[in-house]
Amino acid sequence: MTNATLLIVNCGSSSLKFALFDTTKGEFVADGIAQALGSKSANFSSNNAALDGHAETKQNVDIPHADHAQALSLCLKSLNETFDLEQSLVGVGHRVVHGGESFNSSIVINANVRKEIEKCSPLAPLHNPANLLGITLLEKRYPHLPQVAVFDTAYHQTMPQQAYRYAIPEKLYTELGVRRYGFHGTSHRYVAMATANSLAKPQTETSLICAHLGNGASVCAIANGESIDTSMGMTPLEGLVMGTRSGDIDPGVLPYLNNHGYSIDRIDKTLNKESGLLGLSNESNDMRTLTKLAENGHEGARLAIDVFCFRLAKYIAAMLVSIPNLDALVFTGGIGENSAHVRRQTSSHLKHLGFDLDTNANLENGDATQGVINTPSSRYKIMIIATDEERMIAQDTLNLITN
């Protein structure tokens, strides 16, 4: 008998990530990514687990100038080498970046949902059109299969107005939707659930500050299981220093650069793709690379890490204003789970506020195992919790299509 499976899809502007979830086993049995789509360096890689007499299969091929449709076709072909999708597939879960104010939870996709996602495209022009493309392609391939949209922004719809409104004319909010939406909501929601489980507390009674740190990074204040404040804004550009994004910057810099010959498109590219760790170091947007360079005396790498950790600590401190009681500060994401150096340097800025990191515990948990890394005398717990956005998408998808 074929186990029921869910296909999890994350379409980016030039990438397509996928994973296959076995609902019976409760685990992922395949994953892969097509990246640099549309360019001559486009590449596809996949990994299918050993299952039901099939050996583990891995694939890595160049697919120059392939588009999303070709990548998806290759994805399905790869999966069908091990799994009979026609027989096993019961639903598709899509990561959708921006749901605006229309969605405060995941939802089964229909014509009206598609229209609302499209309406939000101006708020995420690089992401929502790609997300819709993935939905359309899968709908053509499996017209009777239920599809679910899981929004990055939905979790933050519980933020109060004082947290999400900008101090700008009212009509910019009412007519154009200019407000703070927040992102990484699926990750923050998963970490809130996992932290509550780790602390053996109900999620509705658990409050934490979650630092999701990767190439994109954000901090979220979570009170009684709900998001009440976050560092990202109307777009994923606001907030922390990130891999290639500047994070917070004086708005006056934009007209200043424009007056000095920078077009709006060039400013957008500079702040989103050439800034952050990459811009400060002039070397790399990868924290692992920068840490090694800094250890060898590279001043740009050292500066990039210093600014990253200092700005992160400032945002964590700011979130204490938003949250009434704090159970834990939680580090997650690729950097948060794996960089003992970032955790140590960030915590050093927060020690006088009651965050006291245990040096040995911090190093021992550097392999991303879940655990407490504060000293017994610390006022607040400091923890590492590995995020699992794909599992959250799979769970939402299964719950919705079952209901």
Closest CA to 135 of 95, 173, 166: 95
Helix (H) or strand (E) holding 88: helix 85-88
User: Residues 152, 229, 327, 396: which is the catalytic one?
Assistant: 152
DSSP 233: -
Catalytic site residue 250? no
State the CB neighbour count (10 A cutoff) for residue 391.
18
Residue 395 neighbours by CB under 8 Å, 6+ apart: none
Q: What CA–CA distance (Å, rounded) separates 208 from 224? A: 8
Rounded Cα gap, residues 165 and 354, in angstroms = 30
Three-class SS state of 392 = helix
Instruction: Look up tokens 């245990």; give the residue.
Output: 358
The radius of gyration of the chain from alpha carbons, rounded to an integer in Å, stands at 21
Residue 256 to residues 208, 238, 260, 266, 271, Cα–Cα distance (Å): 39, 19, 6, 13, 14
Residue holding tokens 């360019």?
39
Cα gap 281→305, rounded to integer Å: 9
Could you tell me how many helices (H) and strands (E) the chain has, helices first?
Answer: 16, 14
* CB atoms inside a 10 Å sphere around CB 104: 14
Catalytic residues: 152
